[in-house]
């Protein structure tokens, strides 16, 4: 499971694999690793509790909900059955639920240290020596301006290209018992582009936040002259024309997502 994380103390965003989701009271905290802070581990509140509104925002935006096979889930109903996390007079904490890698359930001292404000780094934890990347083999990911520039160079800035097909998967469904599952746990957009200057490519936008599909009108052609890809606060924007800056009123096809990967087809 990958996520876009906002650290309100540092006032910036970063991308991380979710290592665990724990509840020690007043909803969940996410155990993540901040690559912008020397791979320091952090416990981040899922809910943005600093902003007082009718509904809380989220500090954690899930890119994908695909869980590793070695994740575990534990939940207790009574406080006396909880794992005692801290054994200090004024800072007792109890874990009411745990979902994540079993290593961190077996080594609760890591969680305790983070709650007490101690710095914990991945380099000091053996678990990370064998942690496999969540990236899918055979795909290139757009995580920096250099990644974007490389795609634009290889695909000639989308000049003389056309959108062949597009499809969206939400993750919501109704099962055979007519029970509805209405959480959009996938939110993925797939697009294929052909070009006169390059082999065809496919793009997958994960964690889609917003999108607009604008077909060509009857008196226009649909070939692209250029396109724009903008990375801002760990959000990727794709526009089927040149734009100087993010424009969510763009009169064309555009997508706002948390992750983009691409490959030749």
**Residue range 59-113, pLDDT digits in tens:** 999 998 888 888 998 876 555 544 555 554 445 566 778 899 999 988 888 988 8
Q: Percentage of residues in the chain with pLDDT exceeding 70?
A: 92
First to last CA, the chain: 26
Q: What is the pLDDT of residues 122-154, one digit of tens each?
A: 999 999 998 888 899 999 999 999 999 999 999
The count of domains in the chain is 2
Q: Which of 66-80, 157-171, 192-206 has the lowest mean pLDDT?
A: 66-80
DSSP reduced 3-state for 191: strand
Q: What is the pLDDT of residues 214-239, one digit of tens each?
A: 999 999 999 999 999 999 999 999 99
Question: What pLDDT, on a 0 to 100 scale, did the predictor assign at position 95?
Answer: 73
Q: Considering the domain boundaries, does residue 163 fall inside one?
A: yes
Could you tell me if 110 and 41 are in contact, meaning their C-beta atoms sit under 8 angstroms apart?
yes
For residues 90 and 202, membership in a common domain is answered with no
The answer to whether residue 51 scores a pLDDT higher than 90 is: no
What stretch of H or E contains 131?
Answer: none
Question: What pLDDT, on a 0 to 100 scale, did the predictor assign at position 49?
Answer: 84
Q: Which domain holds residue 214?
A: 140-264
Q: Considering the domain boundaries, does residue 134 fall inside one?
A: no
Q: Considering the domain boundaries, does residue 27 fall inside one?
A: yes
56: left (phi over 0), alpha (psi -120 to 50) or beta: beta
Q: Which of the listed residues 129, 151, 178 is the one where a domain comes to its end?
A: 129
Q: What is the pLDDT of residues 202-211, one digit of tens each?
A: 999 999 999 9
Q: Which pLDDT band holds residue 58 (cuts at 50, 70, 90)?
A: very high
What stretch of H or E contains 7?
Answer: strand 2-7
Question: What pLDDT, on a 0 to 100 scale, did the predictor assign at position 90?
Answer: 47
Rounded-to-integer distance, Cα 159 and Cα 153, Å: 10
DSSP reduced 3-state for 122: helix
For residues 60 and 156, membership in a common domain is answered with no
For residues 6 and 125, membership in a common domain is answered with yes
Q: Considering the domain boundaries, does residue 117 fall inside one?
A: yes
Q: Considering the domain boundaries, does residue 135 fall inside one?
A: no
For residues 102 and 192, membership in a common domain is answered with no
For residues 190 and 100, membership in a common domain is answered with no
More confident position, 57 or 81? 57
Bridge partner list, 41: 33
Rounded-to-integer distance, Cα 6 and Cα 1, Å: 16
Q: Which pLDDT band holds residue 115 (cuts at 50, 70, 90)?
A: confident
Cβ-Cβ contacts under 8 Å for 118 (sequence gap 6 or more): none
Most confident option among 22-26, 126-130, 253-257:
253-257
Q: What is the DSSP letter of 126?
A: G
For residues 125 and 144, membership in a common domain is answered with no
For residues 116 and 161, membership in a common domain is answered with no
The answer to whether residue 184 scores a pLDDT higher than 70 is: yes
Could you tell me if 259 and 207 are in contact, meaning their C-beta atoms sit under 8 angstroms apart?
yes
- 18, exposed or middle or buried, with CB in 10 Å at 0-12, 13-18, 19+? buried
Rounded-to-integer distance, Cα 52 and Cα 67, Å: 32
């Amino acid at each position: 499971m990958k996520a876009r994380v906002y650290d309100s103390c540092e006032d910036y965003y970063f991308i991380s694999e979710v290592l665990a989701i724990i509840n020690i009271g007043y909803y969940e905290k996410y155990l993540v690793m901040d690559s912008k802070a020397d791979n320091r581990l952090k416990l981040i509140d899922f809910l943005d509790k600093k902003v007082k509104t009718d509904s809380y925002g989220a500090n954690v935006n899930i890119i994908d909900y695909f869980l590793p096979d070695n994740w575990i889930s534990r939940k207790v109903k009574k406080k006396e059955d909880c794992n005692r996390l801290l054994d200090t007079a004024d800072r007792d904490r109890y874990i009411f639920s745990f979902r994540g890698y079993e290593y961190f359930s077996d080594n609760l001292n890591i969680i305790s240290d983070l709650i007490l404000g101690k710095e914990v780094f991945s380099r000091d934890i053996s678990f990370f020596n064998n942690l496999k990347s969540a990236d899918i083999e055979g795909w290139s990911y757009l995580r920096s301006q250099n990644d974007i520039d490389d795609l634009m160079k290889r695909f000639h800035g989308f000049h003389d290209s056309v959108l062949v097909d597009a499809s969206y998967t939400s993750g919501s469904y109704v099962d055979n018992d007519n029970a509805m599952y209405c959480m959009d746990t996938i939110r993925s957009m797939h697009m294929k582009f052909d070009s006169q200057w390059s082999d065809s490519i496919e793009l997958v936008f994960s964690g889609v936040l917003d999108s607009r599909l604008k077909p060509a009108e009857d008196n226009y052609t649909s070939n692209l002259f250029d396109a724009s890809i903008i990375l801002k606060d760990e959000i990727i924007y794709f526009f089927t024309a040149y734009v100087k800056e993010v424009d969510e009123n763009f009169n064309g096809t555009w997508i706002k997502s948390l992750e983009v990967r691409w490959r030749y087809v």
